[in-house]
Structure formats: C-alpha cells, structure tokens
Amino acid sequence: MLLITFPKKYYIVLMNDYIKETDTLLSITERYPETIDVFVANGFPQMETPAKRKSLGGAITFQMAMMSKKKNAKIFLEMLNETIKQKSEMASEDGEDITDASNSVDIAGVLPCPVKLPLMEGFKTFSKEYFKSNGTGINYRLKSASGGISWLEDEVRNAVDESEIPDLFLSAGFELFFDNDLIGKYRDKGIFHDMSGLEKFNSCFDGIDLKDPKGNYSILAGVPAIFLVNNDELNGRKKPETWDEILSPEFRNSLSLPVEDLDLFNAVVLTLYKEKGADAITSLGKNLLTSMHPAQMVKSDKKSNEKPAVTVLPWFFTKMVFPGTPLEVVWPKDGAIVSPVFIAAKKGKEDELKEIVNFFESDGVGEILRDKGYFPSVNPNINNKIPKENKFRFLGWDFIYNNDITEIINICMTLFNKAVEE
C-alpha cells in the first residue's frame, strides 16, 4: 500500500518573471498573445482588437494601466505570468505518457487554470511514487479548463464501449458528467463508483448534502459564484445582497454574467431554474447589461463606458480587487451558488484508482485549491478561510438524478437568450 504524502516542496512553483511592470501593454501582448484574453476579461476591452492594442497599448505601461484601473498590480502580474507558463506547459503535455508501462491507468479531465500548475507539480511526483509502489503507471491528460472540454466530450461520444473511455474523469461542471450521450450513459450502466476516502465533508458545506446517494461520483471542491458590486453604478439603488435582488427589475441592464465560463454559468442557471422557475432565467437575461454579452458586444451601439452595477463571477477573481476602489465583494446572504468539481472513477478498477482519488482529496491538494483558486475543498482538515455566515447553494442530487440536465440547460439557454434579445 502506498502511503500518500504531499510535502509542500512538491507544489511550490517558482514563477518566471515573463513580464515587467515597465513593459507596455502592446509589447506584452505581442510577445505573449495568450495574455490578450486575460486583459480583456479583467477591465481592458480595448486590448481585444489589433488597432487599439497598437494605438493605446503602445503608449501605456503595465504599471500605468494598473494605476488607471486601480488594479492590484502584484496579483494581476501573477495571473499573467501563470497564463504564459500554462501555455508553454500545455504544449509539452499534450499526449504525454508519464510511463511506458503497458498496464497503466488512464486519467483525463480539465483543471481550473489557477490551480493547474501547482497541482500538476505534485501529481507528477505522486505518479512516480505510485509506479514504484504498484508497478502500474498513470497515463494522464489533465489540461487547462481555459482550453475547453470538447476534446474529451468527443472522445467519450466516439467510444464504442466503456473500455474505450478513461478510467478516471476529473472536471468542474455538470455537462460532461450528466449528459446522457456522454458520461451519463456509462453511469447508468453502473460503471462508476464513489471511491472517496472522506468520512465527512468540510464544515463550510454544512447544510447541503454533497454526498452522491447513488454512489457514482465524488466531489472534490466547489467553485463559488459571488457578487462584485460597483457602488458608483448603483445610482441610488440598495446594494444587492441576495440572488432575488439581482433578479429584480430594479437591476434591468445592470448585470455582468460569466456566460463564457460555462461550468459556473450553467450551475447558476440550473440552480435558479430549479428554485425559482423559468421567470428567474428570463429576469437574468433581461438584467444582463447587453453590451457585456459576448454575442452582442461587437454589435452593440451603446456607449463603451457603460459599466455593470453587479458582476457575478468566481470567487477567485475577487482577489484582483484593489482596496479603495468602488468595487465591493458581496457573498450572497442566501448562499453562493457552487459549481462542483466532480470525479468519476471506474468501479472495476478500484484497486488501482482509490489511491489516486485519495491523492486528489489530500491535504496538500486541498491547500492548493484554497490558496491558488479560492475553491473550497471538501476535505474536513482544510481551513477554507470562509466565515461561518457565508453559505453555499448546491443544485442537489435529487434534481440531478430526476431530470435530464442537458435538456434543462437547453431550456434555460433558450429562455435566457430570448430575454437578452428582447
């Protein structure tokens, strides 16, 4: 039996200084095009087009940009450096086999970008120890979530039977695991088994039941959706503190939503649909600030300085908020909607997979999830640093198993898009 350890030296990553604060935005994006999306998503929409990057980015240094937008330069720089490092890592990892052993187990999935690099450092070390102890190798394809998951969906969809799908899946979101044309069809055949070694979950999740009653899946962590309120844009309105409040007509054309982060966005619409019905999704669409919707952005004739009063976003991005700005982080009083990070492991390979599942549930991984991603771990030994009054909302296993999740997502998107267009 392998004793799983995870010393801190395994997951400390020394970040290369790819960017200096005196570099211009143009020089940064020309050297590292992968940073363009980071700038655009975090308050610099002018960096999206080549012409504006050249005219504006060439005259503004990174330091000047952070000061003008009142951003936390240290955190932003860390995010850019991490994005660049991930790009180079992805190029070398695609299709990588960690060992030549013929009796390897196969792992596939996506990892949230903020935690991928430090987590993979530890996993590589673990996999070597695992091979020495068990004589079984681990072939893994664990890619950044920013690249999407279509590659894995295609692999599952094209499989003839369960022998052609990975032995263990790891990913956030509901789509892959509960789509009846994807992992869902194998789940219904009894292929998977919850191999969690945790007897109870972290106390921060008290009040919601994350344990799969049918024993198919385990949950590793959650990605919380919270509010970022721009007090300068409230215009006399009360600061919203609940989901009901941001759905009210008072916030018509005032919201920014994570529509490109499908894992989180789908968790939000599914939970609101379950608890409040179709009207909630319609209200969400009506309250969206139209010019902030990716599908409408390039066509919008609204003023470019139009800003949302409330942004719904992953908790991780709130660490970008610089003190002294009008931006205020609000944890919804009725609970942050959580998008779970799921694990699905084949029942017939429990002897090989249980230790791997235990690795992902370990204290070391839990600390990475907490510190690098602001993803609360289910591990009861981890202090997730969340005040007791901050609660969560989870879609719930009854709803998951009693509904066609893919169909519900499609219904929600039809309602949402119709409301946006109106």
pLDDT tens digits, one per residue of 292-303: 543 333 233 344
Instruction: Tell me the three state secondary structure of residue 79.
Output: helix
Say how far apart CA 317 and CA 76 lie, in whole Å: 10
pLDDT band at 329; cut points 50, 70, 90:
very high
Which residues are within 8 A (CB) of 269 and not within 5 positions of it... i.e. 6 or more apart? 281, 284, 409, 412, 413, 416
Q: What is the DSSP string of 282-349?
A: HHHHHHB-GGGSHHHHTT--S-TT---SEEEEEGGGGGGBPTTSSEEEE--TT-EEEEEEEEEEBGGG
Residue 100: the pLDDT is 40
Percent of the chain at pLDDT exceeding 70: 88
Residue 17: the pLDDT is 65
Residue range 26-39, pLDDT digits in tens: 999 988 887 887 78
Percent of the chain at pLDDT exceeding 90: 51
| 16 pLDDT higher than 70 | no
Most confident of 2-11, 14-23, 44-53, 383-392: 383-392
pLDDT band at 202; cut points 50, 70, 90:
very high
Residue 321: the pLDDT is 76
Burial of 134 (0-12, 13-18, 19+ CB in 10 A): middle
Residue 15: the pLDDT is 39
Say how far apart CA 204 and CA 366 lie, in whole Å: 13
Q: What is the mean pLDDT of residues 339-366?
A: 95
pLDDT band at 197; cut points 50, 70, 90:
confident
Task: Provide the sign of the torsion angle of the four alpha carbons 298, 301, 302, 304, taken in this order.
Answer: positive
Beta bridge partners, 336, equal 392
Residue identified by tokens 């952070």 is 66
| 365 pLDDT higher than 80 | yes
Residue 95: the pLDDT is 41
Residue 39: the pLDDT is 82
Instruction: Please provide the average confidence, as pLDDT, over all residues in the chain.
Output: 84
pLDDT band at 372; cut points 50, 70, 90:
confident
| 2 pLDDT higher than 60 | no
Contact by Cβ (8 Å): 280, 273: yes
Q: Which CATH architecture has domain 224-335+412-421?
A: 3-Layer(aba) Sandwich (3.40)
Q: What is the mean pLDDT of residues 223-250?
A: 95
Q: What is the mean pLDDT of residues 335-349?
A: 95
Residue range 239-294, pLDDT digits in tens: 999 999 999 999 999 999 988 788 899 999 999 999 999 999 999 999 998 545 43
Residue range 176-188, pLDDT digits in tens: 899 988 999 999 8
Q: Which of 69-78, 335-344, 353-362 has the lowest mean pLDDT?
A: 69-78
pLDDT band at 236; cut points 50, 70, 90:
very high
Residue 14: the pLDDT is 32
| 414 pLDDT higher than 80 | yes
Residue 13: the pLDDT is 33
CATH superfamily, region 92-223+337-394: Periplasmic binding protein-like II (3.40.190.10)
Q: What is the mean pLDDT of residues 22-50?
A: 83
Same fold, 92-223+337-394 and 224-335+412-421: yes
Q: What is the mean pLDDT of residues 127-141?
A: 89
The residues spanned by each domain of the chain are 25-88, 92-223+337-394, 224-335+412-421
Residue 211: the pLDDT is 95
Say how far apart CA 372 and CA 366 lie, in whole Å: 10
Q: What is the mean pLDDT of residues 175-200?
A: 91
Residue 96: the pLDDT is 44
